[in-house]
Structure 1
Amino acid sequence: MLTAEVFGWTGHILVAPRTRLHEALKRRESSYTGVYILLGELNEEPLAYIGEGESIAARIKSHDANKDWWTRVILITSAANNLHKAHVQYIESRLVQEGITAANTSLENSTNPSLPSLSEASKANMETFIEQLLMVLPAVKVDLFNRNTKPDRHAELLKSQQSIDSQVFELTLKSEGIIATAILENGEFIVQKGSLARAKYIGGRSEKSYYWKHHEKLVEQGILVDKGKHKEFTQSYIFSSTSAAGAICTGRSTAGPIAWKIKGTKKTYKTWEAEKLDKN
């Protein structure tokens, strides 16, 4: 996880991978009134959702149960928790506008929320808040609002010095004889050395297909090598999400939270994650 503040700015940003969501929602800021951004991929293309809430944690728990595609969350609050409902509705609407204008990532938001009624002074304060926010977000590798740029999909996962949180998961594709093992450690989803993957990517092979390119890159780097009719991981490899790991192993788009199960059980990653959140 990563936090960001700027001297003289009242805002506070918390960035967390979905694999560490249960830790992020334990933080004080998650109970504040604020705005949040979900980032991930759907159909092998980058996707984002921008929302607001008087308790960010409650809204995100709902999304965790209903949206499988996102892999990273950004919580935007004020350090003193002095944003109110109209403030965050204003920020949400303006960020959706900025995202549409930047046009480098699709938004799942079905409509652009209308701007709430604010005094001229409050509008000016919110515009200043947003201006600073848009300057800080690229520093924490959030380029959703960057104009004339493309998302950096190969950025390193954010790390923290939190205690190790490890769990072993397994993905099987019986029809192809594929078995892959992964661990979740310090918020990183790591497919283990010796795991098997499909020999070729059979999903979408258009120029925009990220997973196809990723599969080819791993082959070129010698991370995936021939093993009978499969490919085999020659070393453990960190993926940005369970779905990315699943897509490379199965050779097609995969709902990672459903495909990966706790090793030796039928419990899915999604169920395991939900149970951890319920304990918060």
Structure 2
Amino acid sequence: MRPFSLRVFVPSGDPTGVLIATRDDGIGKATIFSRALLGEVKGRKEWNLPGVYLLVGPSRLYIGEGDPVGKRLEDHAAKKTFWERALFFTAETRLNKAHIQHLESKLVKLAQEAGVVTLDNGNNPQTPALGEEEYAFVENVLADLLLMLPLLGYPQFEASQTAVASVDEESEAPNASATGKRRAVYSALPRGLVFHSTSKDARATIETVDGGVLLKAGSTVAREPAPSFDVWMPKYAQLRRQLIESGVIAAEGGQLVVKQDQFFSSASGAATVVRGVSSNADGWISEDGKSLGDLLRQWKQKTP
């Protein structure tokens, strides 16, 4: 999270009219309007750009994409009657067809996960294949958009933030002092302690080593991370992709299998990659039923 300003421009001077919202450090703009003002929005240049859009009714939501976005909105004005307000997001010269398809897919999954309103979409759009740089770019756009939406009166994705935003005290630390303290705690643990984690299609084992843990070869990790994983845990989402691309984690027999031991500086980091959702050290359990999270807290109290 970083501070930002959100600027809302009212082209007509009427606060109930069309609104144009931009972030001070953003790359695009959101156009917000009521159904009755569709004709007025048609005259704006954003109407003819690629974009992702939301149609909102009293208890329903539809998410879509269009290139240009205006044509899709015009179709929905004739065929969908539930919506009262709409928002579409565009970025001139910056968003292409693959980008907006990615945004649509992620927003649909996030809305499903949040469960705040009934989703009117009849299918689950898939994310297109993107290169590493393009993927990072559009995920940053998505993260910025998700910060804008609640401020603009679109809270339909907020539940997903609460569900995965908390990270335990043993997660990746924000500064060198805390990182050093965490390393000292792990280094103080006896070497060779073994812990297991089981969740859905993930069955994993870690072993304590100097300064962290080893995720053991033969462990399996979740095939699909949580829909909000890339948004709220981008560091671990990127690490997970790197491990898959490098072959450390590989598909085998319908599962994702760890092919060689992999070091993590925290048990929570290993758990987050394994499960594909924000996790902590409490999910690692020894053969005698003890939690690594409890053990870490005990040793943390002893470590100056």
Which structure's relative contact order is higher, taking Cα pairs within 8 Å and 6+ residues apart? 1
User: What's the TM-score, normalizing by structure 1?
Assistant: 0.50
User: What's the TM-score, normalizing by structure 2?
Assistant: 0.46
Query: Which structure is higher in strand share?
Result: 1
* Structure (1 or 2) with the larger CA radius of gyration: 2
Query: Which structure is higher in helix share?
Result: 2
